[in-house]
A and B are shown apart, each in its own frame.
Chain A
Amino acid sequence: MMTPRTEMVYEALRSVVDPELHLNIVDLGLVYDVAETEPGRVRITMTLTTPGCPVGAAIVAAVRRVLESLPGIEEARVELTFDPPWSVERISPEGRRYLRLV
């Protein structure tokens, strides 16, 4: 069950686009978890489509920037993980249509 705050965070993360696939990171399935650790502080657990992705740093920086511009969020911490690794099954139905996977 998502709180209004985490819903707002997910919505904001839809503006961060993977520049290679040109699909936002939520529909791409890169965001594993959003948690409000303390009031005003959120922790995003996410992955990249491939380890060592050259645009990974730009995506992570964009996530921080976008979230820290939201009202009521002072700090956004991004934890990058490859466990489990990203897979195509994580792409949303809308994302699959966009990428012409269906």
Chain B
Amino acid sequence: MMNVDLRSRPGAAVPSLYIQTGLLFLCGACALIVLQAPAVMLMPRHNPATLVLTHLFALGFGTLITFGALFQMIPVILGERLAAEHPARVAYAHFVPGLLLQVMGFATWTPWLIAAGGSLVAAGTLIFTVPYLKPLARKARTDHTALFILASLLYVALTVLLGVALAVQLHTVWSGRLFTWGLPLHMLAGGLGWFTGIIIGVSYKLFPMFTTTQRVPDRNVYRVFLLFQSGLFLALATGALGWRGGLTAGLLLVTASLLLYVLDVRRMLKARLRRRLSPGMQQSALAVLHLVGAALLAGVLVAAGLAGSAGPQAVWQRLGIAAGLWFAFGWIGSMVLGMLSKIVPMLVWLDRYADRAGDPGVPAIADLVDDRALRLGGAAYQAGCIGLLCAVAAGYRPLTLAAAAVLLFGAAYLTATVFQVWHPAPAATPSGHAAAGGAPKTE
């Protein structure tokens, strides 16, 4: 008998706070691209606009929303109630003001402010993650999702601590070598160890669940974990020592794990119960294609760099930024937004109706969200994202601005659509109780 006690379900207030704030940060990040289009398309080192954009997106949007979703998901995976609500609120009170200080520090190039804000962000991250580590470590022996989440939480802690070290370095200049290896490792730990690791791990649970996939083909999941984590560890360790061969080998192992993961997602989607994907799952499936595209472009750039190919510096720089945008807004952004449009209705349904499941008038989860609005917002987001990376790669500024505006529209529309789920009344008319014979709304 499994633990299915309703009392082990966490409340919706904390995840809602994290997710709503995260969505607002996404809109802020997209607005920044529109307002600062030429400046944010320059390389990140010592470029205030790019650094503000990166941190608004990665910490404000990606990390806050992932924390909110984990707050709800981890007790379900563990099957036990955790006293995590108070730490999560304290973490939020450190993280969000810290992030705002940090981006102000970047925008005005005030190193002590960047370090102070970064320290608050790191404190918030540790306060949030530490209570989960021990229970996850216990569960990780038997549950691959717990294993992935545990590793990813360790990486987010490493990422923010490295970030603080880099920020202190900016202020004090105590180690000239730190920037040489610290910034790439900070980006690798955050982009791969934290975001990619956690997305892969929860994908194996959420893709089958949200698409009602039969006989989930997850036989590769431990292979993916081993290849991904060993490759990343090798890349980080050898990168810190400046050993390029080890770094390349590590990244090749990570690439192999991503290939296996993509094949597994394809199998999961092929084995799904219903042919029509909901808008959220369409976004998530597109995210996997974005990952393939971004990885191919990054692979070409790394290979060319290792081979010492000569070429116009500006072109390589533009392609590098395009790969970064593809990875961030295509892979991470699409996946987070896609999963969110399934997670938020479920979160709200559980909070509002779980005690009344089976009663007349209780809507289906899908009734809480407007599918048409999700499709429109999702289409605009995807068009803006693809247009933006093409425009950046081509170095065509008018198109960059237009694509950024479309991206902002898509992000804002999706944000407004998801916010509507929290409204007291369902966004759509409940379908009523289905025995059989009606028409389901989703998938």
Chain A residues within CB distance 8 Å of chain B: 14-17, 19-24, 27, 49-63, 65-66, 78-82, 85, 87-88, 92, 94-95, 97-101
Contacts and interface: CB of A to CB of B under 8 A. Distances in A.
Contact of B440 (A14, A58, A66, A99): A99
B6 to A, nearest CB: 5
B364 A57 contact: no
Assign chain B's interface to a size class: 35 or more
B390 interface: no
B69 to A, nearest CB: 11
B36 interface: no
A80 B357 contact: no
Interface stretch (B54-62, B411-419, B429-437): B429-437
Contacts of A27: 435-436
10 contacts: A50-B216, A54-B9, A54-B346, A55-B350, A58-B6, A58-B355, A61-B6, A62-B357, A80-B1, A98-B438
A88 B208 CA distance: 13
A19 B214 contact: no
B225 to A, nearest CB: 18
A55 B346 contact: yes
Interface of B: 1-2, 4-6, 8-9, 72-73, 76-77, 79, 145, 205, 208-209, 212, 214-216, 273-274, 346, 349-350, 353-355, 357-358, 362, 364-366, 431, 433-441
B436 A92 contact: yes
Nearest to B436: A94
Given A15-B358, A21-B440, A99-B274, A57 B4 contact: yes
Contact of A101 (B5, B274, B364, B431): B274
A92 B434 CA distance: 13
A88 B214 contact: yes
Contact of B433 (A17, A54, A57, A59): A17
Given A17-B358, A22-B431, A54-B76, A95 B436 contact: yes
Contacts of B433: 15, 17, 24
Nearest to B143: A52
Contact of B364 (A15, A17, A88): A17
A79 B8 CA distance: 18
Given A22-B440, A62-B357, A94-B437, A57 B346 contact: no
Per CB-CB distance, the 8 closest pairs between chain A and chain B, nearest first, are: A94-B436, A62-B358, A62-B357, A58-B354, A22-B364, A58-B357, A16-B358, A98-B436
B2 A80 contact: yes
A61 B77 CA distance: 19
Contacts of B2: 51, 56, 80, 82
A69 to B, nearest CB: 10
B214 A61 contact: no
